[in-house]
Structure 1
């Protein structure tokens, strides 16, 4: 599954390579717009401005004062999606905003919903509802919430279980 995610992110980057013209920061970055249009084509139907604000969100998730972009495909009513796949989850993709107005794909995961929490003064967090093995459960219908966290040193997003205890040191005790 991780390999498929890496391939999907690479395909998104390749798609955007032809669209990376200079844009104003207030505009939707070309790669985000292209990915959204791809979703519209796959699902059928029309993307109204009101619906676009539900599907595509912009907010600073990593604390660099530049908006990042989130597309939750589960928020788009997809008339071409077979009923059998409705409970299979939907792709949530996060694009990392850049100072030059572009955005690069930074995270992608199948989820059963997403929500943003936080305040301007304290920062925002994206929460994903995951299922089955992503929750450490054998039951595919099990659900759990995980917070998407920016890892500064690694320069990447990571899902964090808020209930997990921090790892304890595995170093042997110092000899006196």
Structure 2
């Protein structure tokens, strides 16, 4: 059993970031996810489970863990339809990171801007999209609110003819 959990944890953090490169809290969170899910099915991969990216422009690595990217054989089908946690750890000095944002979503993606900066987009549902239907989906961009010192998910800017 312990070997299976270790194998799952190793697979979880093998790509794209090695475990020794992660701050302790990020690594512990990834291990906890692997332990909750159980061993991976044969041939399953965990590509891009952990993203390392500067999301707030402070020149420090922030860390994104999207639990929906982990093939979790122990997760009941009902839980899959309810979404999975997307967690952002904000990088701080000395190579550490602290939890700074967490939302139940239906996947996430990084988008690189022409200036080289990166944005995190998260797919949300229901009331997070301004709808009462839980099956409604929308994309929200995760931004850094400097004045409040926190990340937040906001609707994409809609360009009108007057603002172009």
Where on the TM-score scale, by shorter chain, does this alignment land: which range? 0.7 to 0.9
Please show how residues 3-42 of structure 1 align to structure 2 within 5 Å.
Answer: 27-42=21-36
Give structure 2 stretches of 5+ with no counterpart: 1-19, 160-164
Give structure 1 stretches of 5+ with no counterpart: 1-25, 166-176
In the alignment, does 2:101 pair up with 1:107?
yes
Q: Please give the TM-score of this superposition, normalised by the length of structure 2.
A: 0.78
Q: Please give the TM-score of this superposition, normalised by the length of structure 1.
A: 0.73
Pick from 56, 60, 70: which aligns with 1:66?
60
Using the TM superposition, name which of 114-123 and 62-71 deviates more: 114-123
- The alignment yields a C-alpha RMSD, in angstroms, of 2.1
| Counterpart in the other structure of 1:132 | 126
Moved over 4 A (4+): 50-53
Greater radius of gyration (CA): 1
| Counterpart in the other structure of 1:142 | 136
What is the number of equivalent residue pairs in this alignment? 138
| Counterpart in the other structure of 2:48 | 54
Q: Any idea what the Cα deviations from partners look like across 1:11-63, whole Å, max 9, x if unmatched?
A: xxxxxxxxxxxxxxx820000000000000000115xxx94551111000000
